[in-house]
Amino acid sequence: MTLKVNRNIKAQFFDCDALGIVWHGNYVKYFEEARDEFLCLIGYNYQQMAESGYVWPVVDLQIKYVKPIVLGQNFIVEATLLEYENRLKLGFRLYDEDNNLLTKGHCTQVAVKAGNNKLELTTPQFFQNKIKKVMG
């Protein structure tokens, strides 16, 4: 089973450059919105993350721009779980309303123990259990 979430977004004026095209840095924000949706799906939102004693810094981010998103355009951000046992890796795809690929990428985060900043070499078991519970 593949674990994925979708988020519908509309390109807003404040996300665009003077030509009405979404500025490239805002794609990271769209990835984050989908990641937030994913974390809520597994029952590990940002408040629960803070309470868990772990932080999850981004250690790798890749983006491939395929077609521009323009002012007022509706699009879908899809986040798909790619890895979770040693790190959290989510794949992202942005599609227009006709299901044409606009952008793709992925983001990798690692578990770090809050307080001592110790990198965990495996994802904490409680997090793995949350994933397994949702996957069935």
Annotated active-site residue in 15, 17, 60, 98: 17
State the Cα–Cα distance between residues 60 and 91, nearest whole angstrom: 12
3-state secondary structure of 120: coil
User: Cβ of 6: how many Cβ atoms within 10 Å?
Assistant: 13
CA-to-CA dists, residue 38 to 22, 77, 80, 88, 100, angstroms: 23, 11, 8, 11, 22
Longest CA–CA span in the chain (Å) reads 48
Q: How far apart are the first and last CA of the chain?
A: 8
User: Is 17 one of the annotated active-site residues of the chain?
Assistant: yes
Which residues are known catalytic residues?
A: 17
